[in-house]
Amino acid sequence: MKQESISIKIIGRLASFLSVLMYVSYIPQIFANLNGSYGNPIQPLVAGINCTVWTYYGLFKANRDWPIVIANLPGIVLGFFTFFTALH
C-alpha cells in the first residue's frame, strides 16, 4: 500500500469535519420542527439513508475506513431525527 501524502490526509480530515458540520446544521431545523414550524422531511430522510449506506461501507470493507464512518454517524442520527420531527 502506498503511503498517503500529508496533503491528502489533511484534505481527508477537512472533508470529515465538513461532513459532520453539514449534519450538525440540522439542529436548528429540529428545534423549528419541535416548535411547530415544520420543514420538508424528504432531504433529511435521504441524507439519513445515504449516511447509513456510507457507514455500512466504511465498516464492512476489507480495511475499515474510520473517517467515512465517523463523518457519517452524525448524519444517521440527525438526518433521521430531523425527518421524524418534520412529520406533522
CA angle 71, 73, 78 (to 5 degrees): 110
User: What's at 50, amino acid-wise?
Assistant: N
Three-state DSSP class for residue 15: helix
CA 72, CA 88: separation in Å to the nearest integer?
26
Per-residue confidence in pLDDT tens, the chain, 88 aa:
566 788 888 888 898 899 999 999 999 999 999 999 999 999 999 999 999 999 999 999 999 998 899 999 999 999 999 999 999 8
Residue whose grid cell is 489533511: 10
Integer Cα distance of 52 and 78 in angstroms: 12
Q: pTM to 2 decimals?
A: 0.85
CATH number of the 6-86 domain: 1.20.1280
